[in-house]
Amino acid sequence: MPADYHTHTPLCHHARGTPQDYIEAALGAGLTEYGVSCHAPLKPEPFDDWHMLTSDLPTYFEWVDTARTHAAGRVPVRLGLECDWLPGCQGWIEELAESAEWDYLIGSIHYLGKWNFDNPRLLESWTRIGVEEAWTRYWKEYSAMARSGLFDFLGHPDLIKKFAHRPEGDLRHFYEPAVEAIAEAGCAIELSTAGWHKPCQEQYPAREFLTLACTAGIPLLINSDAHAPEEVARDFDRATALAVEIGYRETLLFEKRRASRISLGEK
Ligand code: ZN
Ligand code: FE
Ligand code: FE
Ligand code: ZN
C-alpha cells in the first residue's frame, strides 16, 4: 500500500480519534508510511472554527509524537500540515514552514475570498456566485498556489466539485492551465479518495485531470483525507488501480521536505 499522508486530528474541531486509533488503522491497512496533516492555523486568528490555532501547535506536535511512539518500529509517521491558499498568505506560510521540521506541506484551496465553498452550511452562496464563475476563480487560484512553490504537493485538486457543481461540457479547459502550472513548478498532486464519499461521487481529481497530469509528468500521491480512524487508507486499492490504469507507476514519499520515488505497487 502507498503512504497515506493526508489525515487529520481533533485539533481542527471536525475530526475525531486518538493517535493510537489512527496508527492501528494505518497498520491494519499495511501502509508504507503514515502522515499527519491537520488544518494549519490561519491568520488573522481566530479565522474560523475549522482550523487549529497557532497556540495549538505544541499540542499538535505532542499528538504526532504520541502517534510515533505508538507506531515505533512498525510504521514511519511523518509530520505534515494542510495549509490553506488564501490571498496574501505567502508570508504566513513561509513563517509556518520555518517553525518546525515538517516532512511535507500540502497546499489546499477551501476558500474563494471569504467563502468556504466546501462547507455544507454555506451552499446558498453557490446560487449567488454561479458555477462557471466559481470554477473560473477556483482554477485561477489553483495555478497561483502551484506557482507559489510553497508546497510539496497539492490537495484534492478539483474540490470545487464536492457538491456536484460542475459546468456543462468538457472541463479540460479548466484543468489545462493548472496542470501546466503544477508541472512547471515541479509540484506533485494527490489523488484523494474522499470524493467517492461526497455528493460528487468521484475521486479528486477527475480522470481527465489525472490523465493530463500523468502526461505532464506530475507525480501523484494517494491519500484519504481521513477525519476519523476508519477512513485511513479508505479505497486505496480502487485508487491505486485507477492510477495504474491512467499510467502511473510510481508515487512519492517525503522526509524533511525531500521527495523520493517508490513503485506504486510496493509493499
Ligand atoms: Zn477537514
Ligand atoms: Fe482539505
Ligand atoms: Fe484535509
Ligand atoms: Zn483536505
DSSP β-ladder status, 34-36 and 220-223: unpaired
Residue 263 CA to ligand 2 center (angstroms) comes to: 26
Query: Residue 61 and residue 67: Cα distance in Å, rounded?
Result: 10
Expressed in angstroms and rounded, the spacing between residue 223 Cα and the centre of ligand 3 is: 9
CA distance 152 to 137: 22
Averaged pLDDT, 213-239: 98
Average pLDDT over residues 253-262: 98
Domain annotation covers residue 241: yes
- Ligand 2 centre from 138 Cα, in Å? 14
Confidence of residue 267 (pLDDT cuts 50, 70, 90): very low
108 Cα–ligand 3 center, Å: 8
For residue 18, being part of any structural domain is answered with yes
User: What is the 104 CA–ligand 2 centroid distance (Å)?
Assistant: 15
Residue 124 lies in a domain: yes
Instruction: Quick: pLDDT tens for 118-144.
Output: 999 999 999 999 999 999 999 999 999
Question: Average pLDDT of 255-267?
Answer: 88
Residue with cell 489525472: 210
Q: Ligand 4: distance of its center to the CA of 108 in Å?
A: 7
Q: What would the mean pLDDT of 226-248 be, rounded to a whole number?
A: 98
Percent of the chain with pLDDT over 70: 99
How far away, in angstroms, is 51 Cα from ligand 3 center?
Answer: 10
The verdict on residue 2 lying in a domain is no
| CATH number of the domain within which 35 lies | 3.20.20.140
- Ligand 2 centroid – CA 155 distance (Å): 6
Question: What is the structure's pLDDT at 259?
Answer: 98
Q: Tell me the average pLDDT across 202-218.
A: 98
83 occurs within a structural domain: yes
Structural domain includes residue 138: yes
Q: Identify the nearest ligand to the CA of 51 by its number.
A: 1
Domain holding 174, by residue range, is 10-263
15-58 pLDDT, tens digit per residue, is 999 999 999 999 999 999 999 999 999 999 989 999 999 999 99
For residue 39, report the distance from its CA to the centre of ligand 1, in Å.
Answer: 6
Confidence of residue 266 (pLDDT cuts 50, 70, 90): low
**Domain assignment of residue 5, yes or no:** no
Question: What per-residue confidence (pLDDT) applies to 265?
Answer: 75
> Cα(194) to centroid of ligand 1, in Å?
11
Task: Please report, in angstroms and rounded to a whole number, the separation of the first and last CA atoms in the chain.
Answer: 6
**Overall domain count for the chain:** 1
**Res 72: pLDDT:** 98
- Cα angle for residues 263, 266, 267 (degrees, 5° grid): 165
| pLDDT value of position 22 | 98
Mean pLDDT of 244-257: 98
Is residue 1 domain-resident? no
Give the integer Cα–Cα distance in Å for 159 and 112. 12
For every residue of 198-234, DSSP letters joined together read: STT-SPBSPHHHHHHHHHTT--EEEE--BSSGGGTTT
